Amino acid sequence: MSFELNKTCNFAELHRGQCPISHPERYLYSSSHTPLRDEEVIEFWKWARSIGFRGIVMWHMYNEPMFVIRRIRRLMDEMKAVDPFQPFQMTTSTRPDVQGFEIVHYSDYTNGAQLDQRILTAEGAGKPYALMPKVGMCARGRGWEIPIDYYGNWCLCCNDWRCEESVGNIHDEPFHVLQGRWMEKRYTIRWNSEKEYNELPRMCRACLDKNPTLAKRGGI
Protein backbone atom coordinates (compact mmCIF):
# COMPACT_ATOMS: atom_id res chain seq x y z
CA MET A 1 0.00 0.00 0.00
CA SER A 2 1.52 3.31 -1.02
CA PHE A 3 0.57 6.89 -0.25
CA GLU A 4 1.98 9.73 -2.35
CA LEU A 5 2.26 12.54 0.21
CA ASN A 6 4.07 15.06 -2.00
CA LYS A 7 4.47 15.56 -5.73
CA THR A 8 8.03 16.86 -5.86
CA CYS A 9 11.36 15.25 -6.65
CA ASN A 10 14.93 16.51 -6.75
CA PHE A 11 15.37 14.80 -10.14
CA ALA A 12 12.17 16.16 -11.70
CA GLU A 13 13.94 18.59 -14.03
CA LEU A 14 16.76 16.22 -14.93
CA HIS A 15 14.27 13.48 -15.80
CA ARG A 16 11.82 15.72 -17.65
CA GLY A 17 10.40 13.78 -20.56
CA GLN A 18 11.37 10.48 -18.93
CA CYS A 19 9.57 10.43 -15.59
CA PRO A 20 5.83 11.03 -15.10
CA ILE A 21 6.29 13.43 -12.18
CA SER A 22 6.98 16.38 -14.49
CA HIS A 23 4.75 15.24 -17.36
CA PRO A 24 2.01 17.76 -18.24
CA GLU A 25 -0.60 14.97 -18.14
CA ARG A 26 0.26 13.83 -14.61
CA TYR A 27 -3.08 13.35 -12.79
CA LEU A 28 -4.90 14.05 -16.09
CA TYR A 29 -7.93 11.96 -15.14
CA SER A 30 -7.80 12.72 -11.43
CA SER A 31 -11.21 13.19 -9.86
CA SER A 32 -9.87 15.54 -7.19
CA HIS A 33 -7.65 18.56 -6.68
CA THR A 34 -7.54 18.10 -2.91
CA PRO A 35 -4.28 16.68 -1.53
CA LEU A 36 -4.36 13.73 0.85
CA ARG A 37 -4.85 14.64 4.49
CA ASP A 38 -3.17 12.74 7.31
CA GLU A 39 -6.49 11.70 8.82
CA GLU A 40 -7.53 10.17 5.50
CA VAL A 41 -4.31 8.18 5.29
CA ILE A 42 -4.89 6.76 8.79
CA GLU A 43 -8.57 6.15 8.17
CA PHE A 44 -7.90 4.26 4.93
CA TRP A 45 -5.11 2.22 6.50
CA LYS A 46 -7.31 1.26 9.44
CA TRP A 47 -10.13 0.29 7.10
CA ALA A 48 -7.76 -1.85 5.03
CA ARG A 49 -6.61 -3.59 8.20
CA SER A 50 -10.24 -4.29 9.10
CA ILE A 51 -10.63 -6.33 5.89
CA GLY A 52 -7.35 -8.18 6.26
CA PHE A 53 -4.52 -5.96 5.01
CA ARG A 54 -1.22 -6.91 6.63
CA GLY A 55 1.19 -5.68 3.98
CA ILE A 56 3.89 -3.05 3.72
CA VAL A 57 3.12 0.68 3.80
CA MET A 58 5.14 2.83 1.39
CA TRP A 59 5.28 6.58 0.75
CA HIS A 60 6.11 6.98 -2.91
CA MET A 61 4.76 6.83 -6.43
CA TYR A 62 7.05 9.12 -8.44
CA ASN A 63 7.84 11.58 -5.67
CA GLU A 64 10.85 11.89 -3.39
CA PRO A 65 9.31 11.10 0.01
CA MET A 66 12.29 12.34 2.03
CA PHE A 67 11.06 15.87 1.36
CA VAL A 68 8.18 15.16 3.78
CA ILE A 69 9.95 12.76 6.14
CA ARG A 70 8.69 14.49 9.31
CA ARG A 71 5.11 14.03 8.18
CA ILE A 72 5.84 10.41 7.24
CA ARG A 73 7.34 9.69 10.64
CA ARG A 74 4.30 11.18 12.39
CA LEU A 75 2.04 8.89 10.36
CA MET A 76 4.29 5.92 11.04
CA ASP A 77 4.17 6.63 14.77
CA GLU A 78 0.38 6.74 14.67
CA MET A 79 0.21 3.45 12.79
CA LYS A 80 2.75 1.82 15.11
CA ALA A 81 0.60 2.84 18.07
CA VAL A 82 -2.16 0.67 16.59
CA ASP A 83 0.09 -2.10 15.25
CA PRO A 84 3.69 -2.18 16.53
CA PHE A 85 4.52 -4.74 13.84
CA GLN A 86 3.41 -2.67 10.83
CA PRO A 87 6.31 -2.74 8.32
CA PHE A 88 7.33 0.28 6.24
CA GLN A 89 9.34 0.79 3.07
CA MET A 90 11.30 3.83 1.96
CA THR A 91 12.21 4.31 -1.70
CA THR A 92 14.48 7.32 -2.13
CA SER A 93 17.15 8.82 -4.34
CA THR A 94 18.90 10.37 -1.35
CA ARG A 95 20.93 8.68 1.39
CA PRO A 96 19.69 10.08 4.68
CA ASP A 97 19.04 8.36 7.97
CA VAL A 98 16.31 5.83 7.17
CA GLN A 99 16.03 4.25 10.61
CA GLY A 100 12.65 2.70 11.25
CA PHE A 101 12.05 1.33 7.76
CA GLU A 102 12.10 -2.43 7.33
CA ILE A 103 12.87 -2.10 3.59
CA VAL A 104 14.95 0.65 1.95
CA HIS A 105 15.37 0.96 -1.81
CA TYR A 106 17.83 3.51 -3.18
CA SER A 107 17.27 4.84 -6.69
CA ASP A 108 20.86 5.93 -7.17
CA TYR A 109 20.71 7.84 -10.46
CA THR A 110 24.16 9.34 -9.90
CA ASN A 111 25.63 5.84 -10.31
CA GLY A 112 23.74 4.65 -13.33
CA ALA A 113 20.27 3.69 -12.11
CA GLN A 114 18.00 3.65 -15.15
CA LEU A 115 14.43 4.80 -15.68
CA ASP A 116 12.06 2.40 -17.39
CA GLN A 117 9.74 3.34 -20.26
CA ARG A 118 6.44 3.74 -18.44
CA ILE A 119 6.10 7.32 -19.64
CA LEU A 120 5.58 5.92 -23.16
CA THR A 121 2.43 4.15 -22.07
CA ALA A 122 0.48 7.41 -22.24
CA GLU A 123 0.04 6.77 -25.96
CA GLY A 124 -0.82 3.85 -28.19
CA ALA A 125 -2.87 0.70 -27.78
CA GLY A 126 -0.12 -1.89 -27.66
CA LYS A 127 0.87 -4.57 -30.11
CA PRO A 128 -1.78 -6.58 -31.94
CA TYR A 129 -2.66 -9.95 -30.48
CA ALA A 130 -0.78 -11.77 -33.25
CA LEU A 131 2.49 -10.35 -31.89
CA MET A 132 1.78 -11.12 -28.25
CA PRO A 133 1.77 -14.35 -26.20
CA LYS A 134 -1.54 -16.11 -26.81
CA VAL A 135 -2.17 -16.32 -23.06
CA GLY A 136 -0.87 -13.92 -20.46
CA MET A 137 -1.42 -11.71 -17.46
CA CYS A 138 0.09 -8.79 -15.63
CA ALA A 139 1.36 -9.40 -12.12
CA ARG A 140 -0.63 -6.33 -11.11
CA GLY A 141 -3.69 -8.49 -11.71
CA ARG A 142 -2.89 -10.35 -8.53
CA GLY A 143 -3.93 -7.32 -6.58
CA TRP A 144 -0.80 -6.99 -4.49
CA GLU A 145 -0.48 -3.23 -5.03
CA ILE A 146 -2.75 -0.46 -3.70
CA PRO A 147 -1.43 2.96 -4.82
CA ILE A 148 -3.18 6.08 -3.50
CA ASP A 149 -1.87 9.15 -5.27
CA TYR A 150 -1.35 12.70 -4.05
CA TYR A 151 -4.97 13.65 -4.74
CA GLY A 152 -6.52 10.54 -3.22
CA ASN A 153 -7.08 8.56 -6.40
CA TRP A 154 -6.97 4.78 -5.95
CA CYS A 155 -4.94 3.92 -9.03
CA LEU A 156 -4.87 0.53 -10.70
CA CYS A 157 -1.09 0.26 -10.41
CA CYS A 158 2.04 2.41 -10.21
CA ASN A 159 1.95 2.81 -14.00
CA ASP A 160 -1.45 4.51 -13.75
CA TRP A 161 0.15 7.91 -13.34
CA ARG A 162 -2.59 9.73 -15.26
CA CYS A 163 -5.34 8.04 -13.18
CA GLU A 164 -6.65 6.58 -16.42
CA GLU A 165 -7.70 3.33 -14.73
CA SER A 166 -8.33 4.71 -11.25
CA VAL A 167 -11.26 3.07 -9.47
CA GLY A 168 -12.19 6.35 -7.81
CA ASN A 169 -11.14 8.71 -5.07
CA ILE A 170 -10.96 8.07 -1.33
CA HIS A 171 -12.12 11.66 -0.71
CA ASP A 172 -15.44 11.06 -2.40
CA GLU A 173 -16.73 7.50 -2.02
CA PRO A 174 -16.92 4.76 0.61
CA PHE A 175 -13.79 2.65 0.69
CA HIS A 176 -15.71 -0.61 0.23
CA VAL A 177 -17.28 0.72 -2.98
CA LEU A 178 -13.86 1.53 -4.40
CA GLN A 179 -12.59 -1.86 -3.27
CA GLY A 180 -15.38 -3.59 -5.18
CA ARG A 181 -14.38 -1.84 -8.39
CA TRP A 182 -10.72 -2.61 -7.77
CA MET A 183 -11.45 -6.30 -7.20
CA GLU A 184 -13.35 -6.49 -10.47
CA LYS A 185 -10.80 -4.52 -12.47
CA ARG A 186 -7.69 -6.28 -11.25
CA TYR A 187 -9.00 -9.62 -12.48
CA THR A 188 -9.33 -8.29 -16.03
CA ILE A 189 -5.57 -7.85 -16.54
CA ARG A 190 -5.16 -11.28 -18.09
CA TRP A 191 -6.11 -12.85 -21.37
CA ASN A 192 -6.71 -16.30 -22.82
CA SER A 193 -7.93 -15.30 -26.29
CA GLU A 194 -7.75 -12.52 -28.84
CA LYS A 195 -11.11 -11.18 -27.64
CA GLU A 196 -9.90 -10.94 -24.05
CA TYR A 197 -6.62 -9.36 -25.10
CA ASN A 198 -8.43 -6.69 -27.11
CA GLU A 199 -10.63 -5.98 -24.09
CA LEU A 200 -7.67 -5.20 -21.82
CA PRO A 201 -7.49 -1.55 -20.75
CA ARG A 202 -5.66 0.54 -23.34
CA MET A 203 -3.11 1.52 -20.73
CA CYS A 204 -2.36 -2.13 -19.96
CA ARG A 205 -1.84 -3.10 -23.60
CA ALA A 206 0.44 -0.09 -24.08
CA CYS A 207 2.38 -1.02 -20.95
CA LEU A 208 2.81 -4.66 -22.02
CA ASP A 209 4.27 -3.31 -25.26
CA LYS A 210 6.46 -0.41 -24.08
CA ASN A 211 7.38 -1.54 -20.59
CA PRO A 212 6.90 -5.32 -20.44
CA THR A 213 9.19 -5.93 -17.46
CA LEU A 214 6.80 -3.95 -15.24
CA ALA A 215 4.17 -6.67 -15.65
CA LYS A 216 6.60 -9.27 -14.31
CA ARG A 217 7.66 -7.55 -11.11
CA GLY A 218 4.97 -9.19 -9.01
CA GLY A 219 6.70 -12.54 -9.05
CA ILE A 220 5.63 -14.22 -12.30
Question: What pLDDT is stored for residue 112 in this prediction?
Answer: 62
Q: Amino acid identity of 52? A: G
Give the strand pairing for 190-191 and 136-137: antiparallel
Q: Is pLDDT of 168 > 60?
A: yes
| 113 confidence band (pLDDT: 50, 70, 90) | low
| 178 confidence band (pLDDT: 50, 70, 90) | very high
pTM more than 0.85: yes
Distance CA 89, CA 104 (A): 6
Question: What pLDDT is stored for residue 218 in this prediction?
Answer: 43
Q: Is pLDDT of 219 > 70?
A: no
Question: What pLDDT is stored for residue 50 in this prediction?
Answer: 96
CATH assignment at residue 136: 3.20.20.70
Name 72's Cβ contacts closer than 8 Å, sequence gap at least 6. Answer: 5, 59, 65
Least confident of 7-21, 77-91, 144-158: 7-21
Average pLDDT of the segment spanning 124-153: 89
- 3-44 pLDDT, tens digit each: 999 999 988 888 888 889 989 999 999 988 999 999 999 999
- 45-59 pLDDT, tens digit each: 999 999 999 999 999
For residue 166, give its domain range. Answer: 2-216
Task: Calculate the alpha carbon distances from 158 to 39, 74, 130, 196, 217 in Å.
Answer: 23, 24, 27, 23, 11
* Percent of the chain at pLDDT exceeding 90: 66
Domain count for the chain, please give it: 1
Question: What pLDDT is stored for residue 15 in this prediction?
Answer: 81
